[in-house]
Amino acid sequence: MATQRRKFTDEEKLDILQQANKMGITAVLRTHNLSYSVFTKWKQKFMKSDINTDLNSLIHKARSEIKLLIEENTRLKKIIAHQALELELKDEELKKTNDLLKKNK
Confidence at residue 53, expressed as pLDDT on a 0 to 100 scale: 67
* Amino acid at residue number 60: H
Confidence at residue 95, expressed as pLDDT on a 0 to 100 scale: 93
Per-residue pLDDT of 53-63, as tens digits, reads: 666 677 788 88
In this prediction the pTM is: 0.45
User: Cα separation of 48 and 34, whole Å?
Assistant: 21
Number of domains, the chain: 1
In the Cβ-directed half-sphere of 27, how many Cα atoms lie within 13 Å? Answer: 7
29 within some domain: yes
Confidence at residue 73, expressed as pLDDT on a 0 to 100 scale: 97
77 within some domain: yes
2 within some domain: no
- pLDDT surpassing 90 at residue 47: no
4 within some domain: no
Residue 46 lies in domain: 10-104
- pLDDT surpassing 80 at residue 86: yes
93 within some domain: yes
Residue bearing the bigger pLDDT, 75 or 21? 75
Confidence at residue 15, expressed as pLDDT on a 0 to 100 scale: 86
38 within some domain: yes
Confidence at residue 65, expressed as pLDDT on a 0 to 100 scale: 93
Percent of the chain scored above 70 by pLDDT? 89
Q: Tell me how far CA of residue 78 lies from CA of 21, 83, 92, in angstroms.
A: 52, 9, 21
Per-residue pLDDT of 8-45, as tens digits, reads: 888 888 888 888 888 999 999 999 899 999 999 988 88
